[in-house]
Amino acid sequence: MNLIIKKNHNISQKKISKNSMKVLYRLNKSGYEAYLVGGGVRDLLLGKKPKDFDIATNAKPNEIRKLFKNCRLIGRRFIIAHLIFKNEIIEVSTFRAKNNNLKNHQLYSSRIKKSNNGMLLCDNNFGKVEEDAHRRDLTINALYYSIKDSGIRDYVGGIKDIKQKIIRLIGNAEIRYREDPVRMLRVVRFSVRLHMYIDKKTEAPINKLSKLLNNIPPARLFTESIKLFCFGYGYLTYIRLKKYSLIYPLLPFVSNKFSEKNTIFFKNIIIYCLKKVDSYTSKKKIRCPEFLFASLLWYPLIEKIQKLLTHKKLKYLKAYSISVHYILKKYSILLGIPRNILLNIEKIWNLQKDIENKKKSETKIIIQHNNFIQALELISLRSKIENKNELKKILFFWNKQNIFFKKK
């Protein structure tokens, strides 16, 4: 174990949330070991503001619940405690035991369950802090900060990897990916977000194992998609995901066969959409999930409408209605898109025709619509991709109207 004392690192307790400090103090005062761990420690060392703080302790889940009235135990695969404060949720996990070999692993069979693919289904085998460090995914996320001595405990070389800008899995990469295929997405996400290199042994099995993501529940993959594409580095992440064949389980429609024209449009809208989301993320101007999927699914929708118009000889409004229902139902199942986001996607699509019609009598009503900005941004993407003068004129008209009503 490498102990980095207070004077040799840049973490200040003033930058740790007050709620996290309260939790750490109470656990310590009650006789338990407790450390700040994971991304919070990593981000503080990198001079970044952590988006959340996690705590690891030797207190068992039920012991944590007895100490904190605001505790809610969650999870099946691994039980963790959520301590719910007014503006923050602190995640507290119990140290997990390290299983050194297969024989050891079998000793804990009552508490650890794996699928035929090697994916962890249940893992509630508790241990010591040094064992817990070896059970974490990345070396840079396995650093333990103590408020007792303000020291950082490093059991796996995380400090060295932060300095050298390396993303490295702890343990055998193939086994760790099989235990939880989402780790492949985390490796890519952190490499892009933190501008780090992926260790060769960590990188090597990814292409071969990418299809394991098909075993992950769609709702969990949707959550990961938002983390990958909605935080300011979506386009670069997309390029990296394609490199490792990880994009197809996340966005299965990427491999769909469209007409030649729609194929070109679809490929371009992915690039334009992700770059647009990246540019707006820091400004918080656009609600990402609904805009992202309304844009990415626009040309699959158009393809479906065109097929119904050609083969079923339906009127446009009927073909549109059937196609919207079909696309949203299909991809709500495949991608695990929540109902509230599906409703907003449909509203963005419905506004396309309203915006294109340019009815002056309805201008103010359309501009005041909650999804107007997202719908107008989709028009903007389409005008670039389809290169139609009519769409450019429509965009100019609505931008002018929007400025006019803002001034009023």
Closest CA to 272 of 355, 186, 386: 386
**Residues 184-217 as b or e (16 or more Cβ within 10 Å = b):** bbbbbbbbbbbebebbeebbebbeebbebbeebe
Provide φ and ψ at 395, rounded to 5°: -65, -45
What distances in angstroms separate CA 194 from CA 4, 48, 51, 186, 233, one per listed residue? 22, 10, 14, 12, 10
Region label for 313, one of left (φ > 0), alpha (ψ between -120 and 50) or beta (otherwise): left
Ramachandran angles phi, psi of 59, nearest 5°: -70, 135
**In 10 A of CB 35, how many CB atoms?**
27
| Distance, CA of 399 to CA of 287 (rounded, Å) | 19
- Full DSSP string of 269-329: HHHHHHHHHHHHHTTT-S-HHHHHHHHHTHHHHHHHHHHIIIII---HHHHHHHHHHHHHH
The token pair at 246 is 């990880």
Phi, psi for 392 (deg, rounded to 5):
-65, -40
**Which of these is catalytic: 137, 161, 180, 199?**
137
Does residue 137 carry a catalytic annotation? yes
Q: Which residue out of 54, 132, 199, 278 is catalytically annotated?
A: 54
112-114 vs 120-123, strand pairing mode: antiparallel
Q: CB neighbours (10 Å) of residue 14?
A: 7
Asked if 181 and 215 touch (Cβ cutoff 8 Å), the reply is: yes
Tokens of 355: 């915006």
Q: What residue ranges in 2-96 does DSSP mark as E strands?
A: 2-4, 34-37, 54-57, 71-74, 80-84, 89-94
| DSSP one-letter code for 242 | H
Cα separation, 82 vs 313, whole angstroms: 55
Is 54 an active-site residue? yes
Which residues are known catalytic residues? 52, 54, 137
